[in-house]
């Protein structure tokens, strides 16, 4: 014989299990312009983490932050057609400007329970003399670095 408390517990749990919605899978990957791997490119360009944002045609949204060096993140989303955008963040969580002459990293994919969606991006950080990073590790950043003195975009560092 089943105790009353066990029967009551199973009746309470049934709607919770039956009412759960299961997400489909969206894979988001990135590297740096020219195929530079995230394991070296993230630190070289001062990128600490990646902000992933997306919306589907039904108005659902997703927002996730992940460490840059992994080079990918998998997120659960409802089925649908998703437009995904990623943003580079520094160690303070501030946005790192992308090269303004290149298109913004954004892409669209279809996600179903049977077929995960997948998007991949080539990140384009700003030039070394305007990225807020001491790229040559001499203790000076951007226009304070003698290597960038005559910059406005013919920079070194």
Domains and CATH numbers, the chain: 22-126 (2.60.40.1120), 130-157 (no CATH)
pLDDT of residue 127: 65
- Smallest CA-to-CA distance from 88 within 118, 62, 123, 63 is with 123
CA-CA distance, 141 to 98, in Å (whole number)?
A: 17
Cβ-proximal residues to 5 (8 Å cutoff; 6+ apart), any chain: none
pLDDT of residue 128: 66
Whole-prediction pTM: 0.71
Strands 117-123 and 24-32 come out as parallel
pLDDT of residue 131: 66
Please, what is the average pLDDT of the chain? Answer: 80
């Amino acid at each position: 014989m089943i105790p009353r408390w066990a029967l009551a517990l199973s009746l309470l749990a049934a709607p919770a299990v039956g009412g759960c919605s299961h997400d489909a899978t969206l894979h988001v990957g990135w590297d740096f312009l020219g195929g530079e791997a995230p394991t070296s490119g993230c630190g070289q360009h001062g990128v600490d983490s990646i902000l992933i944002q997306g919306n589907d045609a039904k108005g659902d949204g997703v927002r996730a932050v992940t460490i840059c060096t992994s080079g990918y993140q998998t997120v659960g989303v409802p089925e649908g057609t998703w437009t995904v955008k990623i943003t580079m963040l520094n160690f303070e969580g501030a946005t790192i400007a992308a090269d303004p002459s290149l298109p913004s990293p954004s892409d669209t994919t279809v996600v179903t329970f049977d077929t995960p969606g997948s998007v991949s991006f080539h990140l384009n950080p700003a030039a070394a003399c305007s990225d807020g990073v001491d790229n040559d590790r001499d203790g000076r950043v951007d226009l304070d670095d003698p290597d960038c003195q005559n910059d406005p975009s013919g920079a070194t560092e």
